[in-house]
């Protein structure tokens, strides 16, 4: 049986008017069964139900944080697990989705990196996170207007499925999201960044996890980083900008005594010269056994000031969902006895 959500809207199994009805049920009404699609004839519904499944998940658990964000833990049909995070903030509702079970990038400060790579998610398993979170929060799917590919996994290493998911998000008859409100975050893979630049119908935003301006520090905290030098990453970011005309965001998790020295702010400012960019400083979110701690508020402020003084556009990311283990870099499964990322 095929997962209906894996399909691009143009490939949906009905034609014309009926297809629009089906898409409306799935993406506007957010219903989870064919049975509920009451304006489709019973034989059409039965035929769909015989060929397609609607739900990518076997089980969904939630952990609510005091700040209002909610971690969604999904068990897939093969028993593997991954997570999404819902972040309501004032009138802005954002969802952070996963593209993989686990992650091969192994960033030393990230709990998902420590669990290793499980498998790629399918497009429907990515899109399904949005529908499930909307359902869980009592929202219509289209009320979730901001999306970041910043959950588990490296989206550019699950390239085709992530692009298919993005096209479903943006499609006017599916979720109809604005490309300006969708951001893909990557550990920094020049080939993937160039490929993304060439997807000219897409135009989603790009964030690059740089985390250090010098090779020595970057290789220490991103051990797979040696495959792509900082110079190559920056060159691909420049190309991306030349092709798309878009600002590029650089993420920088603040690790105390590791990448928060003022000379590193100076070097970072140097790297960004001539590029229209934004730097997002992320206080490091702790997890058991990470071996790193966050820079203090004062240290982050000093780093911020040093960047700002050099003309860098910079902000500090509010940390959300920390008490629910839902903040950046805390997405990992705590299931005693189960090997990380292995099927249950
Ligand atoms: N694979 C993508 C998405 C990762 S998660 C990427 O590498 O960009 C989104 C951001 O959170 C990345 O910048 C990641 O480096 C950062 N991050 C990971 N662990 C963190 C932690 N413990 N504290 C703060 N930020 C963290």
pLDDT tens across 75-123, in order? 999 999 999 999 998 889 999 999 999 999 999 999 999 999 999 999 9
335 located within any domain: no
Q: pTM for the complete prediction?
A: 0.95
Strand 117-120 versus strand 100-102 pairing type: antiparallel
Q: Point out the catalytic residue in the list 96, 125, 251, 328.
A: 328
Nearest atom, ligand 1, residue 207 CA = 8
Same domain, 111 and 2: no
331 located within any domain: no
Distance (Å, whole) CA 157 – CA 326:
23
Same domain, 180 and 305: yes
Bridge partner list, 315: 280
Structure letter (DSSP) for residue 271: H
For 334, other C-beta atoms within 10 Å of its C-beta total 10
Q: Report residue 334's pLDDT band, with 50, 70 and 90 as the boundaries.
A: low
Q: Is the pLDDT of residue 342 over 80?
A: no
Structure letter (DSSP) for residue 255: B
Is 221 in contact with 212 (CB distance < 8 Å)?
yes
Distance (Å, whole) CA 264 – CA 253:
13
Query: What are the pLDDT digits (tens) for 114-173?
Result: 999 999 999 999 999 999 999 999 999 999 999 999 999 999 999 999 999 999 999 999
Is 120 in contact with 100 (CB distance < 8 Å)?
yes
Same domain, 44 and 180: no
For residue 333, what pLDDT is reported?
62
Closest CA to 149 of 165, 170, 168, 135: 165
337 located within any domain: no
Same domain, 31 and 97: no
Same domain, 221 and 103: yes
Is 328 one of the catalytic residues? yes
Q: Is the pLDDT of residue 35 over 50?
A: yes
Nearest atom, ligand 1, residue 287 CA = 22
For residue 280, what pLDDT is reported?
98
* Structure tokens, 94: 């954002």
Q: Report residue 338's pLDDT band, with 50, 70 and 90 as the boundaries.
A: very low
Same domain, 20 and 82: no
User: Longest Cα pair distance anywhere in the chain, in angstroms?
Assistant: 69
Question: Where in the sequence is the domain holding 215, given as residue range(s)?
Answer: 55-324
Query: What CATH number has the domain bearing residue 266?
Result: 3.20.20.70
Which of 217, 250, 329, when mutated, tests ligand 1's pocket best, judged by the most ligand atoms within 8 Å of its CB? 329
In the block, residue with structure tokens 């500090």: 316
For 321, other C-beta atoms within 10 Å of its C-beta total 25
Cβ 187 under 6 angstroms from ligand 1: yes
What mean pLDDT do residues 276-297 have? 95
Which has the higher per-residue pLDDT, 324 or 130? 130
Is 118 in contact with 101 (CB distance < 8 Å)?
yes
For residue 267, what pLDDT is reported?
98
For residue 344, what pLDDT is reported?
37
Nearest CA to ligand 1 atom 15: 209
Cβ 149 under 6 angstroms from ligand 1: no
Domains in the chain, number: 2
Bridge partner list, 61: 73
* Structure tokens, 321: 């969902």
* Structure tokens, 289: 């056994």
Residues near 12 by beta carbon (within 8 Å), at least 6 away in sequence: 4, 19, 22, 23
Strand 248-254 versus strand 277-283 pairing type: parallel
Is 83 one of the catalytic residues? yes
Q: Rounded to the nearest 5 degrees, what angle is found at the Cα of 306, between the Cα atoms of 225 and 308?
A: 95
């Amino acid at each position: 049986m095929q997962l209906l959500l894996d399909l691009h809207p143009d490939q949906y199994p009905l034609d014309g008017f009926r297809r629009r009805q089906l898409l409306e049920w799935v993406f506007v009404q957010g219903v989870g069964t064919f049975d509920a699609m009451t304006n489709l004839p019973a034989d059409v519904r039965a035929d769909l139900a015989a060929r397609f499944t609607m739900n990518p998940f076997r089980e969904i658990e939630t952990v609510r944080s005091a700040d209002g964000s909610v971690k969604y833990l999904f068990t897939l049909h093969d028993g593997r697990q991954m997570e999404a995070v819902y972040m309501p903030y004032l009138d802005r509702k954002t969802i952070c989705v996963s593209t993989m079970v686990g992650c091969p990038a192994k960033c030393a400060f990230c709990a998902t990196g420590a669990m290793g790579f499980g498998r790629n998610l399918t497009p429907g398993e990515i899109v399904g996170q949005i529908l499930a979170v909307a359902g869980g929060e009592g929202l219509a799917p289209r009320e979730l207007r901001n999306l970041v590919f910043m959950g588990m996994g490296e989206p550019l290493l699950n390239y085709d499925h992530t692009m298919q998911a993005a096209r479903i998000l943006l499609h006017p008859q599916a979720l109809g999201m604005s490309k300006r409100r969708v951001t893909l975050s990557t550990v920094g893979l020049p080939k993937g960044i160039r490929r993304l630049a060439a997807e000219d119908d897409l135009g989603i935003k790009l964030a690059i996890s740089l985390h250090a301006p010098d090779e020595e520090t970057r290789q220490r905290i991103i051990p797979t980083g040696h495959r792509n030098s900082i110079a190559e990453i920056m060159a691909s970011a420049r190309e991306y900008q030349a092709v798309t005309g878009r600002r590029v965001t650089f993420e920088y998790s603040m690790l105390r005594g590791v990448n928060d020295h003022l000379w590193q702010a100076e070097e970072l400012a140097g790297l960004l010269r001539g590029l229209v960019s934004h730097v997002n400083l992320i206080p490091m979110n702790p997890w058991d056994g990470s071996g790193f701690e966050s820079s203090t508020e004062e240290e982050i402020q000093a780093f911020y000031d040093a960047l700002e003084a050099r003309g860098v556009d910079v902000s500090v990311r509010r940390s959300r969902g920390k008490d629910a283990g839902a903040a950046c870099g805390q997405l990992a499964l705590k299931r005693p006895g189960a090997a990380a990322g292995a099927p249950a």
